[in-house]
Chain A
Amino acid sequence: MTPHPDPSLLDDARGNPEQRREALRHILGCAECRARLAGVDQSRIFALLALSPVPPSSLAALTARVECALDERQVRERVWAWRTWAAAAASLVLAVALGGYAWLGRGAHEPIQQAALPPPQQEQMSAAVELLEPEAADVVSFRVGEVQVVMIFDERLAL
C-alpha cells in the first residue's frame, strides 16, 4: 500500500500527470483517502473518473476510421486536382482553337461587296419595254397564299 497522498496533489500543477494518476489509483482503492477528498468538496470525488478506461478496441477502431477517412480525402484531393488540370487543359485548348479561328477568319466581318452586275444591254432593255405590250408575251399569273406570282414567257426576253 502506497502512503496516503495529500488531496492537494490533485490540484493545479502540484504533480505531473503520472503522479496524479498514481494518487488517483490510491484514492480509488482507499476509503480513508476518498473520505478526505470528499471532505474538501464532495464533487471532487469525480476526479476519479480520470481512471475510467477507454476500451482498446474503440481506440483501435478510431485509428482505423481516421486512416480510412484520410485515405478517402487524399483520393478526393487527387480527383479534384486531376479535374482542375483537365479543366485548365480544356480551357487552354478552347482558347487556342478560338484564337486560331479568329486569326484565320480575320476580315470575315468586313462589309460584303455588292457583286457588280453588268448593266443591261440595249436589246434587253427594248425587250423589257416590249414586254409591257401584253399581246407580245404569254403571261401566267397566280397566287400562292399572300404572294402573287407572275410568270412571263417571251422568247424575246433573254435576261
Chain B
Amino acid sequence: MQEEAELIRAAAAGDRRAFGELVALKRERVVRIAHQITGNLDDALDVAQAVFLKLWGQLGRFDPERRFDTWLYKITVNAAIDLMRSPGSRPALPLAEEAESPAPAVGPEASLDLARLQRAFWQVAQQLAPKQRAVFVLKEVEGMSTAEVARVMGVRESTVRNHLLQARRALRQGLERDFPDLVPRS
C-alpha cells in the first residue's frame, strides 16, 4: 500500500512511468467494473481509457487523505453509467466469451460455466436501472462494503440498501423465471 501511495504521489507530480505502473495496477478492476455495468468489453475499454485520462488530468488535485480506490471507482462508475445512457452503447457480451485465455482453474468438480453465468446476469440485469446495476456490481461482485459503495455512488447508505434490495429481487425473479437450472438447490 505504501508503494501505491508512492506511485500516486509520483504520478500526481507528472511522472509518466509511475502513472503507467498505477494504470497496470488498477486497470483490470476498472475494466471489470465498467464491463459489468455496460455489458460490453469494447465499451468497458472506452470507459477505462477515459477514466485513466481523466485521472491523469486530475491526479494533482487528489487529496491523499481520501481513499484512492473510492475516487477511482467513482470516476469509473459515473463514466460507465454515462455511456450506458448514451445512444451509442454496444450490446452486452460476456467477458468469459471475449477472453482468449481460459477461465481460472477451479478443480475437476467445477460445473458452473462463467460465460453462462455472465449471459444470465446480462439477460436478467436488463431490467435494472443503471444505478441499481452499479450498486449490485460494486456490492455483490466486487465485494465492497455498503459504506464504500455509498461513497463511490455519492449517495446515502440507505439508498444503497434500497437499490440493492430492488436489484436482488429483480435478479432473483429473473433467475427463477429464465435460468432455473443455473442455481443448485440445497
Contacts and interface: CB of A to CB of B under 8 A. Distances in A.
Contacts of B146: 12
Interface stretch (A36-44, A81-89, A98-106, A115-123): A36-44
A69 B46 CA distance: 12
A52 B96 contact: yes
**Interface of A: prevailing SS:** helix
B7 interface: no
Contacts, number: 149
Interface stretch (B70-78, B79-87, B112-120): B112-120
A87 to B, nearest CB: 24
A10 B176 contact: no
Given A43-B171, A54-B95, A67-B20, A59 B114 contact: no
Contacts of B184: 31, 34-35, 38
Contacts of A12: 144-146
Given A55-B101, A70-B16, A43 B140 contact: yes
7 cross-chain pairs, A with B, having the tightest CB-CB distances, nearest first: A29-B106, A35-B186, A43-B171, A29-B110, A12-B145, A29-B107, A52-B95
Interface residues of B, number: 57
A73 to B, nearest CB: 8
B104 interface: yes
A43 B175 contact: yes
| Band of interface residues on A | 35 or more
Contacts of A28: 106, 110, 112, 114
Contact of A66 (B52, B175, B182): B52
**Interface of B: prevailing SS:** helix
A57 interface: yes
Nearest to B53: A69
Given A12-B145, A43-B168, A66-B23, A49 B182 contact: no
A66 B53 contact: yes
A30 interface: yes
B117 A54 contact: no
Given A43-B171, A65-B49, 8 more contacts: A34-B184, A35-B184, A45-B182, A45-B183, A51-B104, A54-B28, A55-B100, A55-B101
